[in-house]
Structure 1
Amino acid sequence: MSITRCISALLAAGFLAAGLAGCASATAGTAPSGSTNASAGGTKATVGTVTVYAAASLKSTFTEIAAEFEAAHPGTKVTLNFAGSSDLVAQITQGAPADVFASADTKNMAKLSDARLIDRTPTNFATNVLEIAVPPTNPASITSFTDLAKPGVKVVVCAPQVPCGSAAEKVEKVMGTTLKPVSEESSVADVLSKVISGEADAGLVYATDVKAAGDKVKGIEFSESRQAVNTYPIATVDSSKNKDLANTFIAMVTGSEGKKVLAHAGFGTP
């Protein structure tokens, strides 16, 4: 073989080796879609999107937890859908693409469990109690639960099938007081909105909602609310296409990060 041919062959072999090495390096550094990556904390989460259906009273806390989750697991996306728990149950039952469901009571979660639409036993992660929300000026001079039943008082509550409405009914029975609301709403957020807008003299919402509203409303606590404590469960939906990611999100909600966010918002522990 001539010197020229020998040099050409060596150069070709060198380029081939470099190319193969480059391919191997690129392959090792690229994770295929749907693969698992280790987070900073060592927990593995599948890259992708997790869709969370959560009770309206969890909006501020779950929005914060979702942001922390995305930061801890690069490449993931949390899609949030907030509504009354009973509405969310209806949506999931009808085939809505939810990965995680967080309810404001155990009753609505049981509906999905009984229908075998939940992957595992739900985990209770928080508690909440009712509080009376009134406009800052408190035009109806509300000071107690029984004041809500006074003639002329425009009170708004959640519908009975909604957790906050069911809790209100329990308190009514304990107090022997029957309320005559001017409106029954499908979520606690809607009740709070009517109080803030001045459409109602008072509304029965959760203590966490009053705290989140700041100076937009005034909160009035009443001891009887402890007779109707709502427990919040969370679970992976059985039809989820990304159960690993769903379970990892639930682990954050029930872990130290989630507990810190929930406690700051005023939620109790189960």
Structure 2
Amino acid sequence: MRGLRLLGALSAAVLLVAGCGSDSADSSGAAGSGSGDASAEAVSGELQVFAAASLKESYEQLASDLKEANPDLAITFQYGASGQLATQIEQGAPADVFSSADEVSMTKLADAGLVEEPKVIAKNVLQIVVPAGNPATIETLADLQNPDLTIVTCAAAAACGKITASLEEQVGYKVASDSQEPDVKSVLQKVSLGEADAGLVYVTDVKSAGDKVEGIDIPEAAELSNSYPIAAVKGAPNAEAATAFIEYVESDAGQKILADHGFLAP
């Protein structure tokens, strides 16, 4: 099993420094339950992972679940809109791994010869998010056409913005969006703070916000799930650690964490 092979390579365990943007935080403890050869060479050095904002909670749990510290490996997560992250990599940002919330952003880098072969690790679907208690009594996607409501959506460059546009095309009408936010977490924040009556985010984002918000399913969105590809960046400063990270995400343990946060199987 791939997860066991990875944990064998990481048998000394891992110290991850997980951050959003330029921030970082330490997480340490005992490694997972996989067994392996204690003499296997452990990965080390610094690893830069550029990941879609909707993966934040899942990836931070991946970090915390590798519980026995290995001070020879440090991982920094840079979260944001997939399109913006792809542009940064295209412009030479020192990333080792790119984990996207859409295939368009990944294909852009693959066509430019900037990443290794991508692999889809999960899928996600849109959901209407409303503040706790649903004060505007929103029931369906059609309700978001009401100009008297304050609606927030993702900007067109973000993966959530692309899938919103596809949804609007499918249903034949547009959401009356008052604000287009740079990424899905910005939409979620405005709704959770009561600054908007509703927004369009992923199921996983609604789940991550707990009792601050409520989610309303969109039947029309079921056929428009986003695929989440991951790939090592070609010429990555730490290619060995990049491979190890990707294998862990693909492992049974990694897939369970993604599923626990609401992601669908790839």
Unpaired runs of at least 5, structure 1: 1-36
Residues 201-256 of structure 1 show CA distances to partners (whole Å, capped at 9, x for unaligned) of 00000000001100000111121111210000000011311101100000000111
Change (3 A) 1:74 1:260: farther
What is aligned with 1:17? none
Q: Which structure's residues are more often helix, by fraction?
A: 1
Say which of 42, 47, 52 aligns to 2:49: 52
Deviation at 1:72, TM superposition (A): 7.3
Counterpart AA for 1:268: L
Unpaired runs of at least 5, structure 2: 1-7, 12-35
Normalised to the residue count of structure 1, the TM-score between the two structures is: 0.82
What is aligned with 1:104? 101
Counterpart AA for 2:91: Q
Say which of 202, 217, 229 aligns to 2:198: 202
Query: In 1, distance between residues paired with 2:48 and 2:162?
Result: 27
Matched position secondary structure for 2:234: coil
Change (3 A) 1:179 1:92: same
Say which of 160, 180, 187 aligns to 1:184: 180
Change (3 A) 1:62 1:232: same
RMSD over aligned Cα atoms: 1.6
Normalised to the residue count of structure 2, the TM-score between the two structures is: 0.84
Say which of 244, 259, 263 aligns to 1:263: 259
Does residue 1:39 correspond to 2:6, yes or no?
A: no
Say which of 241, 244, 249 aligns to 1:248: 244
Say which of 71, 79, 82 aligns to 1:85: 82
5 Å-filtered alignment, 1:230-249, equals 230-249=226-245
What is aligned with 1:137? 133
User: 4+ residue runs of structure 1 moved beyond 4 angstroms?
Assistant: none
Query: In 2, distance between residues paired with 1:69 and 1:123?
Result: 22
Matched position secondary structure for 1:245: helix
Say which of 89, 92, 95 aligns to 1:95: 92
Residues 101-141 of structure 1 show CA distances to partners (whole Å, capped at 9, x for unaligned) of 000011100011111110x2101000000000001122221
Q: Which has the larger radius of gyration?
A: 1
